[in-house]
Amino acid sequence: MEIDGRLRRLRNNSTANAVANAIKDGAGICIPSFPINAATMLGFLKDLGEPLADYARLIPGEISVAPDLNVVKLRKGPPGKVRTHHRSGELVPHTARSWAKQRPRYFAMLMVEPGWRDGPTHSNGESLYVPWRLALDRMRRESALKFGAAFEILMDTPVFFEADKVREAVNAGPVGYQLPDSRDELDVGFRIKQDLPAVLRRCANANLLADAVEWLQTTARAAAMELPTVLECGDLVVLDNNRWAHGRCAFEITRNHFLNPSLLILQFSR
Ligand SMILES: O=C(O)CCC(=O)C(=O)O
Ligand SMILES: [Fe+2]
């Protein structure tokens, strides 16, 4: 199992089965030079599972570019319609559909247009990927005692929270959960929204959980920032959405009145 957080690069003629096996092995996958075509992407990924509906469709007033795909970052749309799905600020490590009852097993993203990349490191919208296990291991090394208490809170405290805009049935279990094919005691899943610590601090009696989530997330962030991933056009990333967190560094949104053309499409699969 790769615990250094680096993505394993597979050839672009790899089968979905090869991807599933590598993911089972613990790896996060990157397939370079994948065709920039929504139908090809969905056709390839549907062998991994049934795609969950694009959540843009669950947001009133949002437009959907292709069925089952969620387009992020920025793109000049039709006149008068500029999509700004994500703010330019950093996205700290999180998991997809963390709030939802029906959670995707895999998370995939295809880089279409990376936008400006000539800023200092950590300011070009570089992608961040990290297995939660790597963060847990660092936390345990930092303090076994503190880790024991935090891990118990993460694994045992039931909690529910909502997405910012999407409204769908919510999950009411703990943020950490056992996996049927777990390899060791740190090989568990997490459902964590990027701003979860702040959300929890607004709830009654959730401060200890907020502290534990914050420790996990800041440790994951620090680890991911050591290895920011600069995605090239055509890089297709596929992750186990229980075991791996994803995020993104901040980026410049406009320059001389021009919008950063960066665009990335995502797909979720059960
Ligand atoms: O913008 C990105 O690189 C990632 C976006 C993301 O994490 C999300 O939409 O959930
Ligand atoms: Fe995300």
CATH of the domain at 178: 3.60.130.10
Nearest one of 231, 246, 258, 248 to 104, comparing CA atoms? 246
Specify the pLDDT at position 69: 76
In a domain, 130, yes or no: yes
Q: Reduce the DSSP state of residue 255 to 3 states and report it.
A: strand
Q: Is the Cβ atom of 193 under 6 angstroms away from ligand 1?
A: no
In a domain, 216, yes or no: yes
In a domain, 198, yes or no: yes
- Give me ligand 2 centre to Cα 145, in Å: 31
Is the pLDDT at 4 greater than 90? The verdict is: no
Q: Is the Cβ atom of 196 under 6 angstroms away from ligand 1?
A: no
Look at ligand 1, atom 10, and give the residue with the nearest C-alpha.
96
> Global pTM?
0.92
Mean pLDDT of 86-114: 90
Q: Is the Cβ atom of 97 under 6 angstroms away from ligand 1?
A: no
62-71, 182-191, 206-215, 252-261, range with the lowest pLDDT: 62-71
In a domain, 1, yes or no: no
Name the token pair of 58.
């669950």
Is the pLDDT at 107 greater than 80? The verdict is: yes
Phi/psi of residue 260, nearest 5 degrees: -55, 125
The total number of residues written for the chain in this structure: 270
In a domain, 70, yes or no: yes
Specify the pLDDT at position 29: 96
Specify the pLDDT at position 1: 45
Q: Is the Cβ atom of 192 under 6 angstroms away from ligand 1?
A: no
User: In the block, which residue shows the tokens 């694994």?
Assistant: 155
- Give me ligand 2 centre to Cα 151, in Å: 23
- Give me ligand 1 centre to Cα 240, in Å: 15
Q: Is the Cβ atom of 264 under 6 angstroms away from ligand 1?
A: yes
Q: Is the Cβ atom of 248 under 6 angstroms away from ligand 1?
A: yes
Look at ligand 1, atom 3, and give the residue with the nearest C-alpha.
248
Q: Reduce the DSSP state of residue 177 to 3 states and report it.
A: strand
Q: In what order do the strands lie in the sheet with 127-131?
A: 91-94, 244-248, 127-131
In a domain, 2, yes or no: no
Q: Which helix (H) or strand (E) holds 256?
A: none
14-23, 117-126, 159-168, range with the lowest pLDDT: 159-168
Q: Is the Cβ atom of 243 under 6 angstroms away from ligand 1?
A: no
Q: Which atom of ligand 1 is nearest to the CA of 96?
A: 10
In a domain, 18, yes or no: yes
- Give me ligand 1 centre to Cα 136, in Å: 23
Specify the pLDDT at position 217: 98
- Give me ligand 1 centre to Cα 139, in Å: 25
Percent of the chain with pLDDT over 90: 64
Is the pLDDT at 2 greater than 70? The verdict is: no
Pocket mutation for ligand 1, best pick of 7, 72, 113, 249 (most atoms within 8 Å of C-beta)? 72
What sign does the dihedral 172-176-177-179 (CA atoms) show?
positive
Is the pLDDT at 128 greater than 90? The verdict is: yes
* 183 — pLDDT class (breaks 50, 70, 90): very high
The letter for the amino acid at 130 is V
Which domain, by its residues, includes 19?
A: 7-269
Pocket mutation for ligand 1, best pick of 107, 217, 248 (most atoms within 8 Å of C-beta)? 248
In a domain, 228, yes or no: yes
Domain count, the chain: 1
Is the pLDDT at 3 greater than 80? The verdict is: no
Mark 170-195 as b/e (b = at least 16 C-beta within 10 Å). ebeebbbeeeeeeeeebbbbbbbbbe
* 88 — pLDDT class (breaks 50, 70, 90): confident
Average pLDDT, the chain: 88
What sign does the dihedral 100-91-199-145 (CA atoms) show?
positive
pLDDT tens digits for range 29-84 = 999 999 988 888 888 988 888 777 665 555 555 555 566 777 776 655 555 555 55
Query: CA torsion angle for 11, 15, 19, 25 (degrees, to 10)?
Result: -100
Specify the pLDDT at position 66: 65
Ligand sitting nearest the alpha carbon of 262: 1
Cα–Cα dist 62/56, whole Å:
6
pLDDT tens digits for range 205-245 = 899 999 999 999 999 999 999 999 999 999 999 999 999 99
